[in-house]
């Protein structure tokens, strides 16, 4: 994926792709509302060309990411060496550098 898009998503900004922006906005709503998204948020996601199965896929993705993040935070494994160039330490850390 293009670095500009990745940076926009990591920074919670909008990128050049309207469909990715719709996924990002819907995902934020799912996380913030613990799945209890407003009708308007779901309608906006569907209007971007997604269906209800895709909405459930977002929920699945959020749940998988949560499980992985919690487990990795608990276990503190080393990052795979081949992934080191892609390591992200948070927007606050990167902004301070």
pLDDT of residue 51: 98
Range 9-22 average pLDDT: 87
Q: Which residue has the tokens 């992934």?
A: 83
DSSP 76: -
DSSP 87: -
Range 24-29 average pLDDT: 96
pLDDT single digits (tens) 42-97: 999 999 999 999 999 999 999 999 999 999 999 999 999 999 988 888 766 656 66
pLDDT of residue 24: 95
pLDDT of residue 97: 62
Q: Helices 39-47 and 18-32: crossing angle, nearest 10°?
A: 160
pLDDT of residue 4: 84
By C-alpha distance, which of 32, 1, 7 is closest to 91?
A: 7
């Amino acid at each position: 994926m293009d670095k500009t898009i990745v940076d926009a998503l990591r920074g919670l900004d909008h990128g050049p792709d309207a469909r990715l922006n719709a996924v990002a906005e819907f995902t934020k709503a799912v996380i913030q509302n613990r799945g209890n998204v407003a009708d308007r948020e779901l309608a906006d996601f569907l209007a971007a060309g997604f269906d209800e199965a895709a909405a459930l896929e977002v929920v699945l993705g959020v749940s998988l990411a949560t499980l992985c993040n919690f487990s990795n935070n608990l276990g503190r494994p080393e990052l795979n060496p081949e992934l080191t160039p892609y390591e992200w330490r948070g927007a606050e850390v990167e902004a301070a550098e």
